[in-house]
Amino acid sequence: MIQSTSNLHGYNRTDAASLSNAKQASLSKAEVETGGERLSSSNTEALREALKNSPEIRPEVVEKGKQLAVDPNYPPRQLIESLAKLMVDSRETADSE
């Protein structure tokens, strides 16, 4: 399975996670009454605020990307083979339709 780049090699957006936990703790009564529906304007605003407070460029992630770009073993062979298999399988499915 392909990993999300936001958590690749420990580059975790802990600030976003803590914001999410704080936001979840303060769900409004109306949101709870709608059967757990959590998409609301206040959640959208919290996400926009978190995005605004996040740096546009994270030097540590850029550095890691540079290291991976010159690493002859990246991406791992197993990942390449898994992706190739998925592509072949999806092509065979498309051809049979």
What pLDDT, in 10s, does the model give residues 8-67?
444 444 454 544 445 555 544 444 445 555 667 778 888 899 989 989 999 999 999 999
- pLDDT band of 94, cuts 50, 70, 90: confident
d(C-alpha 64, C-alpha 39), whole Å: 34
Task: Write down the domain spans for the chain.
Answer: 14-96
* Average pLDDT value for residue range 1-14: 47
pLDDT for the residue 24:
52
d(C-alpha 49, C-alpha 22), whole Å: 13
34 touches 7 (CB < 8 A): no
How remote is the C-alpha of 33 from its chain's centroid? 29
User: How many degrees, rounded to 5, is the angle at CA 42 between CA 38 and CA 45?
Assistant: 115
11 touches 60 (CB < 8 A): yes
Give tens-digit pLDDT for 69-84: 999 999 999 999 999 9
pLDDT for the residue 3:
46
